[in-house]
Amino acid sequence: MIHSLFLINCSGDIFLEKHWKSVVSQSVCDYFFEAQEKAADVENVPPVISTPHHYLISIYRDKLFFVSVIQTEVPPLFVIEFLHRVADTFQDYFGECSEAAIKDNVVIVYELLEEMLDNGFPLATESNILKELIKPPTILRSVVNSITGSSNVGDTLPTGQLSNIPWRRAGVKYTNNEAYFDVVEEIDAIIDKSDDVSFHPCIRFKRWESERVLSFIPPDGNFRLISYRVSSQNLVAIPVYVKHCISFKENSSCGRFDITIGPKQNMGKTIEGITVTVHMPKVVLNMNLTPTQGSYTFDPVTKVLTWDVGKITPQKLPSLKGLVNLQSGAPKPEENPSLNIQFKIQQLAISGLKVNRLDMYGEKYKPFKGVKYVTKAGKFQVRT
């Protein structure tokens, strides 16, 4: 299936390669670079590229390209999903998935890649299993290892690998047993939502189907239990509104920009962490604005305006006003830019979803239970 993997940074350097079958030359990446050049924007590089002898399937994550080389028919999503899993694993091990982190830990990266695929077919992708096979780097451990000469590599097969519950290793013991639930909801303002759920494999599907109860043996550590989508009918409450007035004068080198944000249906909770991002039209040279609250930046190269608003206090609504300098002589932009809004509301799940009860069976101790609710903006776009 997956023949080779190349990691490429934004400036086009191949800084890591790994082959699971015979070696494929780096030169195969030239086809990728060609496509990248054609696409202009990194986001537009096609995930699947056909070359005379191979197929390249790539993902773009954290400013890195993961380019895999394929020789025969394979479901593209299989490879894409796997590559994301690799990136997730790096994130998990090194705290970030960056070129520096990967280069610093190249041996662990190599050991991981070796365990994750055999002959191009995924072998161990559960983080629990991998962590037993290859220990994540910590400062303490590397000091101890250098003194004692012990290693980061486990020498027995992780029990999870053999069981039907690969997500939990055997014999987990803690003095404090805690179960926390973070209910994180994201509001998507253009896309409709309807109820649909996806589960972590630990959830027993039949119980959910018949009793609408989530019954599971939890993995050890953080994990995503379920993802759900709620129909938009329940979500008439959109927590913020935006008043906007953006105009560009014909035959003039300036325009006006004025936006105000206010709370709406926030159910008594504070809306915080508000950020507004606007992709201004190309003819905008600079912006001269005054925020009543927070701070703003405008990048004249990418033409992205970012306004970090913070909290909304209903007494004084935050606004951002000022002038826009346009390239003189260029025609005025035809369309006003869309506003992308980020925000957070603590202690609120806007769909009304609630963790009703947590029962635990088969253990004598009582775990500490905690539930946290957060509502966030997902892809929240306001057309102006």
Of residues 345 through 374, those in contact with another protein by CB under 8 A are: 351-363, 367
Is residue 346 within 8 Å of 278, Cβ to Cβ? no
By the rule CB under 8 A, 198 interacts with another protein: yes
By the rule CB under 8 A, 238 interacts with another protein: no
- C-alpha distances (whole Å) from 195 to each of 198, 228, 231, 232, 325 are 10, 7, 5, 9, 45
Is residue 169 within 8 Å of 160, Cβ to Cβ? yes
Q: Closest CB to another protein among 176 and 356?
A: 356
By the rule CB under 8 A, 381 interacts with another protein: yes
Stretch touching another protein by CB under 8 A, among 195-203, 251-259, 267-275, 294-302: 195-203
Q: Closest CB to another protein among 146 and 315?
A: 146
- C-alpha distances (whole Å) from 77 to each of 33, 341, 342, 365 are 22, 30, 29, 42
Q: Closest CB to another protein among 76 and 370?
A: 76
Which parts of 262-301 interact with another protein (CB under 8 A)? 279, 281-282
Which parts of 67-86 interact with another protein (CB under 8 A)? 70-78, 80-82, 84
Report the DSSP pairing between strands 196-199 and 2-8. Answer: unpaired
Q: Closest CB to another protein among 122 and 322?
A: 122
Q: At what angle do helices 76-94 and 106-116 cross, to 10 degrees?
A: 140
Q: Which of 337, 343, 344, 348 binds another protein (CB under 8 A)?
A: 337
Query: Which residues contact residue 344 at a Cβ distance below 8 angstroms, ignoring those fewer than 6 apart?
Result: 271, 272, 273, 374, 375, 376, 377
- Backbone φ, ψ for residue 93 (5° rounding): -80, -45
Q: Which of 12, 300, 314, 331 binds another protein (CB under 8 A)?
A: 331
Q: Closest CB to another protein among 78 and 296?
A: 78
Q: Closest CB to another protein among 312 and 341?
A: 341
Stretch touching another protein by CB under 8 A, among 104-112, 254-262, 288-296, 318-326: 104-112
By the rule CB under 8 A, 111 interacts with another protein: yes
Q: How far is the CB of 78 from another protein (least distance, A)?
A: 4
Q: Which of 34, 110, 142, 313 binds another protein (CB under 8 A)?
A: 110
Q: Closest CB to another protein among 181 and 241?
A: 181
What does the DSSP assignment read for 52-115? SS-EEEEEEETTEEEEEEE-S---HHHHHHHHHHHHHHHHHHHSS--HHHHHHTHHHHHHHHHH
Report the side by side order of strands in the sheet with 319-326: 240-248, 254-263, 319-326, 284-291
Which parts of 138-177 interact with another protein (CB under 8 A)? 146, 149, 151-157, 159, 161-166, 168, 170-173, 177
Q: How far is the CB of 292 from another protein (least distance, A)?
A: 26
Report the DSSP pairing between strands 368-377 and 178-187. Answer: parallel
By the rule CB under 8 A, 334 interacts with another protein: yes
Q: Closest CB to another protein among 305 and 312?
A: 305
Q: How far is the CB of 221 from another protein (least distance, A)?
A: 14
Residue count at the site for another protein (CB under 8 A)? Answer: 139
- Backbone φ, ψ for residue 116 (5° rounding): -75, -30
Q: Closest CB to another protein among 73 and 315?
A: 73
The torsion of the CA quartet 350, 371, 87, 190, rounded to 10 degrees, works out to: 0
- The Cα 317–Cα 311 span in angstroms is 10
Stretch touching another protein by CB under 8 A, among 253-261, 262-270, 321-329, 333-341: 333-341
Element (H, E) at 256: strand 254-263
- The Cα 184–Cα 353 span in angstroms is 10
Q: Which of 233, 251, 302, 315 binds another protein (CB under 8 A)?
A: 233
Stretch touching another protein by CB under 8 A, among 212-220, 238-246, 291-299, 307-315: 212-220
By the rule CB under 8 A, 218 interacts with another protein: yes
By the rule CB under 8 A, 50 interacts with another protein: yes
- The Cα 181–Cα 356 span in angstroms is 11
- C-alpha distances (whole Å) from 278 to each of 187, 243, 339, 342, 384 are 18, 14, 5, 11, 11
